[in-house]
Amino acid sequence: MKTDLTLGYMPLTDSLPLLAAAQLGFFRDQGLDVTLQEEVSWANIRDKVIVGQFDGAHMLAPMVMASTLGLGGLNKPLIAPYSLNLGGNGMTLSASLYRELESTTRGRPGPASLKQLIEQRKLEKQPPLVLAVVFPYSSHNLLLRYWLASAGIDPDRDVTTVVLPPSQMVDHLRLGHIHGFFAGEPWNAVATADGIGCCVATGRDIWQNAPNKVLGVTEDWARANPDTLDALLRALYRAGAWLDGNRAQAVSLLAEYLPVDRRALAPALLGHTGYRPDSGDAPEPDLLVFHRYLANFPWVSHGYWFLNQMARWGWLPGDQDLSAVAAACYRPDLYRRALADTPLPGQDWKGEGIHAGPWRLETSQGEIGMGADTFIDGEEWQLRSMNFLHQSAP
């Protein structure tokens, strides 16, 4: 069994499962000697996983499908055998733009007020607003586009989208190069703490408990190293459980890796959107979920939704059998193998957008609590509508 591993990560709050597993000795307890390597771009993460410089990495879920389908700069079949987190990202607009929206809206500004502003700007012959995302094939970009489209804003024509590294978002916002961004924490909290931006929507406002990052490995690597993969998943699972139970310690642990003000690391981890202008003191414990709600299970329906959105925006070549691609990339069978002694659901798919509040799911170890999964526009994705021919695990 291969025990010396190198794993890549981007310095973000949701890289914590890897950081915690390394710091707390969970990798070592599984017999793994893991070197973590910080990366500067998502493209690097993907490329280094593909050429074998990394055994696996903290990865954007849609990137796994994009690389498998040959849409990226470098392509090879990648798989997601494990989900690292739900939520943990959000959208920030420049403080001045936010105030402008506020002045024209009753209640909390949302996509509808942005639509109004965009139409106004068109009449005044002003250039389109510039919004930044971290990578084209990311839950960030897909959630941003979903949010815009929910109010009739065309993400390709009505705004200009650019790509920036997460760590540069706040500076570009400060310099006025962009009007807003959609990025992972802590960058929304940093922009707010600096008084430069206001969070107009968290990922949760668009899709509650939306999938975000996964552990990405090549299909070849997973096939060649089954025991190592099992050990890796077990270490990460333990880290996820620890993170959900020890949020305050998680802030301290993260502070060792991320050179930003601790006050900006806390909101997502401690579950208070103190940075959202109108949130008051109401706690939001589900801003970022590492473990509960079966958060680590790689639901094929999550992959399906991402693919469906990629098809919606015309990014997929030809006719693709989305459910087949989703089932090839999302690999609950590997999760089930590694974590056989943990609660496992009866199916690999679940309906999305159909649970408005907490609900119970029957698992191999009795019922467990699940989180809401509704969308901003109330769209429902029933299992029968997803055409899941490949529902049973291979």
Partner 1 sequence: MSEQPQHTRVMLVDDTPARAAMLEQALTDCGFQVICRMASAQGLMKQVAEHQPDVVIVDIESPDRDMLEHMTVLNQHLPKPVIMFAEQGDSNTIDRAIRAGVSAYVVDGLNPERVRSIVDVAVARFREFQALRNELQQTRTRLADRQVIDKAKALLIQHRQMDEDEAYHAMRKLAMDRSQKLVDVANDIVSVLGLLAPKSQRTRDQ
Judged by CB under 8 A, the stretch of 30-38, 130-138, 224-232, 344-352 that binds partner 1 is 130-138
- Which of 1, 33, 53, 248 forms a contact with partner 1 (CB under 8 A)? 53
Strands 359-363 and 33-38: unpaired
Out of 37, 44, 308, 391, name the contact with partner 1 by CB under 8 A.
44
Q: Is 224 in the site for partner 1 (CB under 8 A)?
A: no
Does position 116 bind partner 1 by CB under 8 A?
no
Q: Point out which span in 34-42, 257-265, 332-340, 361-369 binds partner 1 (CB under 8 A).
A: 34-42
Q: At what angle do helices 322-329 and 300-312 cross, to 10 degrees?
A: 130
Binding of partner 1 at residue 311 (CB under 8 A)?
Answer: no
Q: For partner 1, which residue of 24, 118, 134, 142 counts as binding (CB under 8 A)?
A: 134
- Which of 48, 145, 291, 350 binds partner 1 (CB under 8 A)? It is 48
Biggest distance spanned by C-alpha atoms of the chain: 65
Structure tokens at 315: 């990014």
The binder of partner 1 chosen from 3, 6, 37, 75 (CB under 8 A): 75
Residue identified by tokens 């733009």 is 97
Q: Does 135 bind partner 1 (CB under 8 A)?
A: yes
Q: Is 220 in the site for partner 1 (CB under 8 A)?
A: no
Piece in contact with partner 1 (CB under 8 A), picked from 14-22, 70-78, 235-243, 362-370: 70-78
Instruction: Using CB under 8 A, pick the residue from 107, 127, 259, 314 that binds partner 1.
Output: 314
d(CA 44, CA 40): 7
Question: Measured from the CB atom, is 314 or 346 closer to partner 1?
Answer: 314
Which letter does DSSP use for residue 60 in this model? E
Tell me if 315 contacts partner 1 by CB under 8 A.
yes
Spacing of C-alpha 101 from chain mean position: 27
CA dist., res. 47 & res. 50, Å (int): 5
Nearer to partner 1, 150 or 161 (CB): 161
Bridge-based pairing state of the strands 4-9 and 56-60:
parallel
Selected from 164, 199, 232, 264, the binder of partner 1 by CB under 8 A is: 164
Q: Which stretch binds partner 1 (CB under 8 A): 40-48, 179-187, 347-355, 361-369?
A: 40-48
Q: Which is nearer to partner 1, 48 or 292 (CB)?
A: 48
List Cα–Cα distances, 201 to 35, 36, 161, 228, in angstroms: 35, 32, 17, 39
From residue 167, give the alpha-carbon distance in Å to each of 46, 100, 377: 18, 26, 30
- Site mask, partner 1, residues 243-282, x = CB under 8 A? ----------------------------------------
Could you tell me if residue 42 is left (phi over 0), alpha (psi between -120 and 50 degrees) or otherwise beta?
alpha
Q: How far is the CB of 179 from partner 1 (least distance, A)?
A: 17
Buried b / exposed e along 311-322 (16+ C-beta atoms within 10 A):
eeeebbeeeeeb
Candidates 72, 111, 203, 211; binder of partner 1 (CB under 8 A) is: 72
Q: How far is CA 10 from the centre of its chain?
A: 13
Q: Which residues pair with 201 in a beta bridge?
A: 91
Check binding of 71 to partner 1 (CB under 8 A): yes
Q: Is 320 in the site for partner 1 (CB under 8 A)?
A: no
> Could you tell me how many residues of this chain bind partner 1 (CB under 8 A)?
28
Whether 93 contacts 198, CB under 8 Å: yes
Give which of 217, 210, 157, 152 is closest to 182, Cα–Cα. Answer: 210
Q: What is the DSSP letter of 383?
A: G
Q: Does residue number 47 form part of the binding site for partner 1 (CB under 8 A)? A: yes
Contact residues for 275 (Cβ-Cβ < 8 A; gap 6+): 188, 189, 192, 193, 198, 199, 267
Give the binding site for partner 1 (CB under 8 A).
Answer: 40-44, 47-48, 51, 53, 71-75, 134-137, 156, 161-165, 167-168, 314-315
